[in-house]
């Protein structure tokens, strides 16, 4: 384990403990010498982490508030990539949250890390995710959270348009396409609807409830069982 990773894990270890932990216990937990633990504690204290204690007594965090820079570079790159994907493939509200998260990360990282993030050679492009799709995904996501029905105008693969009243249960991203899983009130069964084929989505005031036989988890169980039977 690299030192930076050990320091990160050491802080997490202390955070999970309510009482002081001895240097011997920490040394055993991280498979290092007691002297190394003493040096690590001093390094963390020098960087602003609120660790209190002394040799022979033990160490603990004095509060739960930690400096924001407790991420490794690969972790920051992963967070940045995820935020970029959210900003390109979700609705305007999630885009705003993703941009806000990126601004907070960029505001607190040191210069060397910021340069490494700026040079991160992975981009997220958006093709075919138009304004109508953004509007539709925002409505159905809101309906999922509020458990309210949606009146949906939908164009199927045969280019035939129909209107359905549905109960949105969840969404799946297939790498370029979002699919809404819903309970169709007309068919009285599960149905899948591609977000990019929605012509109009209207949030209704009528609420619905999920049950053990009408939910995202239940649908996933049915799909898994079907594939097991086919195999």
Query: Would you state the pLDDT for residue 66?
Result: 46
Where residue 231 falls among pLDDT bands split at 50, 70, 90?
low
Specify whether the CB–CB gap between 92 and 98 falls below 8 A.
Answer: no
Long-range CB contacts (< 8 A, 24+ apart) of 133-137?
133/178, 133/195, 133/196, 133/198, 134/90, 134/91, 134/92, 135/91, 135/201, 136/195, 136/198, 136/200, 136/201, 137/90, 137/91, 137/171, 137/178, 137/195
Query: Would you state the pLDDT for residue 149?
Result: 97
Tally Cβ neighbours within 10 Å of residue 149.
Answer: 21
Query: Would you state the pLDDT for residue 153?
Result: 95
Collapsing DSSP states into helix, strand and coil, what is residue 46?
Answer: helix
Query: Would you state the pLDDT for residue 199?
Result: 92
Q: What is the mean pLDDT of residues 130-145?
A: 90
Q: How far apart are CA 50 and CA 40, in angstroms?
A: 13
Q: What is the mean pLDDT of residues 75-81?
A: 84
């Amino acid at each position: 384990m690299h030192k930076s990773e050990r320091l990160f894990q050491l802080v997490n270890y202390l955070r999970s403990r309510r009482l002081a932990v001895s240097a011997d216990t920490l040394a055993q937990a991280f498979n290092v010498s007691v002297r190394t633990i003493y040096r690590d504690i001093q390094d963390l204290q020098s960087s602003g982490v609120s660790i209190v204690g002394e040799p022979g007594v033990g160490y603990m965090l004095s509060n739960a508030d930690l400096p924001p820079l407790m991420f490794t570079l690969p972790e920051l790159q992963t967070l940045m990539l995820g935020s970029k994907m959210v900003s390109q493939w979700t609705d305007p509200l999630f885009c705003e949250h993703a941009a806000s998260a990126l601004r907070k990360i960029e505001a607190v990282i040191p210069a060397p890390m910021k340069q490494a993030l700026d040079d991160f050679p992975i981009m997220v492009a958006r093709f075919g995710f138009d304004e109508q799709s953004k509007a539709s995904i925002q409505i159905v996501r809101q309906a999922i959270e509020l458990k309210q029905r949606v009146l949906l105008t939908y164009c199927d693969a045969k280019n035939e348009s129909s209107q359905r009243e549905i109960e949105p249960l969840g969404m799946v991203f297939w790498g370029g396409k979002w699919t809404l899983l819903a309970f169709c009130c007309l068919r009285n069964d599960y149905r899948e609807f591609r977000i990019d084929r929605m012509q109009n989505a209207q949030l209704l005031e009528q609420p619905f409830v999920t049950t053990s036989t009408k939910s995202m988890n239940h649908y996933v169980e049915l799909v898994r069982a079907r594939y097991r039977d086919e195999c």
